[in-house]
């Protein structure tokens, strides 16, 4: 795997002193894009067509434990207490092969992962999942990767996961290299220094869960490719991203919530317009999704700085200042069809929470 560099400890195989590999648990938070990733320049390497920009969220967490075990005949994945055997398990094994190749091992892995929010519902579970996995699996295989290499590895599992390696506001580079070595994420320069500390710019994301967080209809991976192939609006979507990225970064550096919110809203609507124009159409919205957008506009009319964004699902995420969070959460909770509301502070980057040797 030539894109992933190892700073290396414990040699190429990473076998510990006792001859076996450690069991590593890592945690990562989901992120919500304010300038979306929607379209690839290479689907095999999962390379984005354009950059993107996100906010990491403290309230949406995946915790994952990985152990490469000589006693296992094949990879074993337990997700939210359920043994997975289908597509998710096959996708995970193909991704684990990248880690095994990089570490020079051939052992199967036990992966136990849990989300504290609904999985595969458009709440960005693949972002936190593959970010936590990249950290836990690389360490469990004996590799110590720097943040850039971790981001590249996470990206191979899910494009948005590259961003969840970091906390706060994160910018993803599309890169130009065919091998993807320059398609990685990093914190936004000049962004608030301490994610989650609230010291500098206390923001919240209010998540209005629509329809109980059921599994989404169109996986983002397939839907964005279908959109690129069939939507007459896809080219227009791609063309608006570079300018939106510049404007979003300027707004972050200026701590200008209104400007950041306006560009985030416009960008989300452009992404969904391109998706809806696909043939056949990809429509993620449900009636409560539109009602939430209307409720956000009504809050703005009353003078609140509140701005919405939506991803590959019906839920609406609203960016607000911390002082307005409870009022906005109550307004979202009052929209018929909203089944729960999550209020999240800004989250930190992926971290190892335990490493047990032997
Ligand atoms: O990382 P993926 O393949 O699940 O794609 C994420 C797509 C969006 O959530 C809609 C946008 C984004 O940038 O996160």
Distance (Å, rounded) from C-alpha 70 to C-alpha 301?
A: 62
Mean pLDDT score, 306-332? 97
Report pLDDT digits (tens) over 146-167.
Answer: 999 999 999 999 999 999 999 9
Q: pLDDT at position 82, please?
A: 92
User: 286 exposed, middle or buried (CB, 10 Å; 0-12, 13-18, 19+)?
Assistant: middle
Per residue in 84-109, pLDDT tens? Answer: 998 889 999 999 999 999 999 999 99
172: which strand partners? 52, 185
CA–CA separation, 303 and 325 (whole Å)? 14
Tokens 């943040």, located at residue: 147
Among 108-112, 191-195, 233-237, the minimum mean pLDDT is found in 191-195
Q: How confident is the model at residue 19 (pLDDT cuts 50, 70, 90)?
A: low
- Find where tokens 């909203």 sit: 338
In a mutational test of the pocket of ligand 1, which residue from 46, 54, 154, 160 has the highest number of ligand atoms less than 8 Å from its CB? 160
Residue 67, both tokens: 């152990």
pLDDT of residue 239: 98
CB hemisphere CA count around 311 (13 angstroms): 28
Q: How far, in Å, from the CA of 287 to the mean position of ligand 1?
A: 22
Atom of ligand 1 nearest to the CA of 311: 10
What is the best residue among 28, 282, 312 to mutate for testing ligand 1's pocket, by most ligand atoms within 8 Å of CB?
Answer: 312
User: What lines the ligand 1 site, CB under 6 Å?
Assistant: 33, 36-38, 52, 124, 126-127, 158-160, 220-221, 311-312
Domain topology for 4-195: Ribosomal Protein S5; domain 2 (3.30.230)
Helix axes 257-276, 220-230, angle to 10 degrees: 70
* Ligand 1 atom closest to residue 172's alpha carbon, by position in its atom list: 13
CA dist 38 → 33, 120, 240, 357 (Å): 10, 17, 12, 40
pLDDT in tens, 262-299: 999 999 999 999 999 999 999 999 999 999 999 999 99
The CATH 3.30.70.890 portion of the chain extends over 203-344
Query: CATH number of the domain at 203-344, out of 3.30.70.890, 3.20.130.10, 2.60.120.1270, 3.40.190.10?
Result: 3.30.70.890
Contacts of 232 (CB under 8 A, 6+ apart): 277
For 220, which DSSP code? H
Ligand 1: nearest atom to the Cα of 124:
9
Residues of the chain with CATH 3.30.230.10: 4-195
- Identify the pLDDT of residue 102: 97
Is a pLDDT exceeding 80 seen at residue 120?
no
Report whether pLDDT(328) > 60: yes
**For residues 62 and 119, what is the distance between their CA atoms, to the nearest angstrom?**
10
Atom of ligand 1 nearest to the CA of 312: 10
Specify the higher pLDDT residue, 96 or 197. Answer: 96
Question: Could you tell me what percent of the chain has a pLDDT over 70?
Answer: 90
d(CA 127, ligand 1 centre) in Å: 8
Strand, coil or helix: what is 143?
A: coil
């Amino acid at each position: 795997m030539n894109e992933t560099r190892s700073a290396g400890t414990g040699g190429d195989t990473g076998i510990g002193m006792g001859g076996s590999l450690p069991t590593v648990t890592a945690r990562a938070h989901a992120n919500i894009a304010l300038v979306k990733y929607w379209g690839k320049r290479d689907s095999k390497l999962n390379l984005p067509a354009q950059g993107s920009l996100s906010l990491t969220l403290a309230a949406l967490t995946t915790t994952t434990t990985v152990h490469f075990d000589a006693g296992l005949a094949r990879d074993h994945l337990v997700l939210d207490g359920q043994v997975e055997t289908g597509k998710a398990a096959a996708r995970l094994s193909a991704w684990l092969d990248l880690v095994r190749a990089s570490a020079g091992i051939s052992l199967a892995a036990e992966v136990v992962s849990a989300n504290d929010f609904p999985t595969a519902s458009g709440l960005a579970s693949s972002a936190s999942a593959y970010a936590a996995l990249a950290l836990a699996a690389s360490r469990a295989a004996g590799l110590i990767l720097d943040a850039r290499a971790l981001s590249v590895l996470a990206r191979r599992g899910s494009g948005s996961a590259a961003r969840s390696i970091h906390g706060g506001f994160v910018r993803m580079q599309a890169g130009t290299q065919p091998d993807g070595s320059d398609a990685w994420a990093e914190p936004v320069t000049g962004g608030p220094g301490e994610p989650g500390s609230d010291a500098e710019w206390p923001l919240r994301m209010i998540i209005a869960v629509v329809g109980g967080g059921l599994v989404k209809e169109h996986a983002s991976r397939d839907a964005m490719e279908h959109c690129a192939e069939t939507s007459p609006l896809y080219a227009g979507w791609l063309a608006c991203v570079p300018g939106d990225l510049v404007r979003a970064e300027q707004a972050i550096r200026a701590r200008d919530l209104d400007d950041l919110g306006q560009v985030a809203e416009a960008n989300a609507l452009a992404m969904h317009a391109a998706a809806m124009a696909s043939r056949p159409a990809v429509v993620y919205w449900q009636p409560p999704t539109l009602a939430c957008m209307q409720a956000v506009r009504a809050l703005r009319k009353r003078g609140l700085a509140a701005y919405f964004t939506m991803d590959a699902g019906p839920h609406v995420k609203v960016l607000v200042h911390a002082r307005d969070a409870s009022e906005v959460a109550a307004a979202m909770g009052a929209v018929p069809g909203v089944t729960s509301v999550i209020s999240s502070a800004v989250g930190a980057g992926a971290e190892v929470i335990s490493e047990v040797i032997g």
